[in-house]
Structure 1
Amino acid sequence: MPDLDDIDRTILRLLVEDGRRPYSDIAAAVDLSPPAVSDRVSRLQEWGVVRRFTADVDRSRLRDGVSVLVTLDLAPNTVETTRAALVGDEAVEHVFTTAEGSLVASLRIPDGDVRGYLEETIDYDAVRDLAVSLLTATSWSPGLGAAEFAPECAECGNTVTAEGETLTLGGESYHFCCSSCAGRFEERYEELESGV
């Protein structure tokens, strides 16, 4: 299985800076042709490294509520449902789950009533402790560092290394840590396709 190289990382950094950057500009920066850059971006999308291109709206320039950082200490069995409720809400900008099981979210509350908002959005009875901080400024700058391509095996969930395999089935790419996992997955896929 191929791995990310320095050119892939540079392309990713340039796209993080500006997702609308023309491939000709990227090509000049990495010493490739624009079609070669397009091929690499398509490959990164197939691998799931690039999920989408989106607008980065600076909400501080818009008058639409109070920006706060909320930390929720929750009952352990409610973390995922609470996270899902927050992720699906328009007032939420980012949601993080900590190793301790807390949720940290940046929100823009239209009327400034954080408690009221949370009571309407999540199961407030699951909240054991709550901390709210008023945000005066935010910035978001995801970095790549020396990131390596490390997808999860579609069969067993292990991390796929350079020795792994990729199969394309039904127009979708799947990554596997070994040929055994790839074989088992493909066999089950074909059985389901044939209706067995």
Structure 2
Amino acid sequence: MRGLDDTDRGIVRLLLEDARRPFSDIAEEVGLSAPAVSDRVDRLQEMGIVRGFTLDLDRSLLRAGVPVLVEIDAEPGRAAAVRDGLADADAVEHVFRTADGRVTVTATVPQAEVSDLLDAHVDLNDVDSYEVRLVADSEWTPGLGTAEFAPECAECGNTVDEEGERTVLDGDSYYFCCGSCESRFVDHYESLKEGA
């Protein structure tokens, strides 16, 4: 299984700057042909590194309320439910869940209506407390740095390196550190599928 090389990183950096950039422009920057760039982007999507191409709205030009940062202390074991509920809200832009059970949300809401947002999307029994801060400004600057491709083995949890395996089952990619992990996982997957 092939990992990321400098050309892949260059393509991702250029797409992060402008996801609508033509492959021919990217090809000039990275020293490949446009079809080769297209093939690499397809491979990055198959690997799950590139999940989609998104739109970045400048909310300062729209009237939709005020931008807020909401920090929520969830009841023990309920942070994932709070995160999931808020992730579906139109007003919410980002949702983060920390290991200590805190959920942080950026959203744009009408003034003084954060409690309505929470009430509409979260079981308030799952919330211990929350704090709201007005956002003065924000900037989203995703970057790749020198990141290496290192998914977790779907069977044992070890890090998968370039010698690992990738299998697609029912349209989803699974990564394995070795052939035996892949075999055990696929066998178990298929037996569960047959029993369903």
TM-score by length of 1: 0.91
**Count of aligned positions:** 196
Per-residue Cα deviation, 1:151-191 (whole angstroms, up to 9, x for no partner)? 22232333211221123445554311111111122334555
- Give the alignment of 1:77-88 within 5 angstroms: 77-88=77-88
Indicate the larger mover: 185-194 or 65-74: 185-194
1:148 alignment partner AA: E
Distance 1:129 1:182 in 2: 44
2:66 alignment partner AA: V
Alignment-derived partner of residue 23 in structure 2: 23
Alignment-derived partner of residue 45 in structure 2: 45
Per-residue Cα deviation, 1:95-142 (whole angstroms, up to 9, x for no partner)? 111232211110111343112322222122332222111012111111
Alignment-derived partner of residue 135 in structure 1: 135
Alignment-derived partner of residue 56 in structure 2: 56
2:107 alignment partner AA: L
8 Å contact kept, 1:87–1:94: yes
Per-residue Cα deviation, 1:54-107 (whole angstroms, up to 9, x for no partner)? 111111211011110000111121101000001011010001112322111101
In the TM superposition, residue 144 of structure 1 has moved relative to its aligned partner by 0.9
1:131 alignment partner AA: E
8 Å contact kept, 1:66–1:112: no
In the TM superposition, residue 4 of structure 1 has moved relative to its aligned partner by 0.5
Unaligned runs of 5+ in 2: none
State the Cα RMSD in Å. 2.0
Distance 1:5 1:67 in 2: 38
Q: Which runs of 4+ in 1 moved over 4 A?
A: 169-172, 189-196
**Percent identity over paired residues:** 54
1:74 alignment partner AA: A
Distance 1:30 1:81 in 2: 43
1:69 alignment partner AA: L
Distance 1:172 1:92, change over 3 A: closer
8 Å contact kept, 2:11–2:26: yes
Alignment-derived partner of residue 7 in structure 2: 7
- Give the alignment of 1:73-112 within 5 angstroms: 73-112=73-112
Distance 2:185 2:27 in 1: 37
2:45 alignment partner AA: Q
Alignment-derived partner of residue 179 in structure 2: 179
8 Å contact kept, 1:19–1:53: yes
2:143 alignment partner AA: G
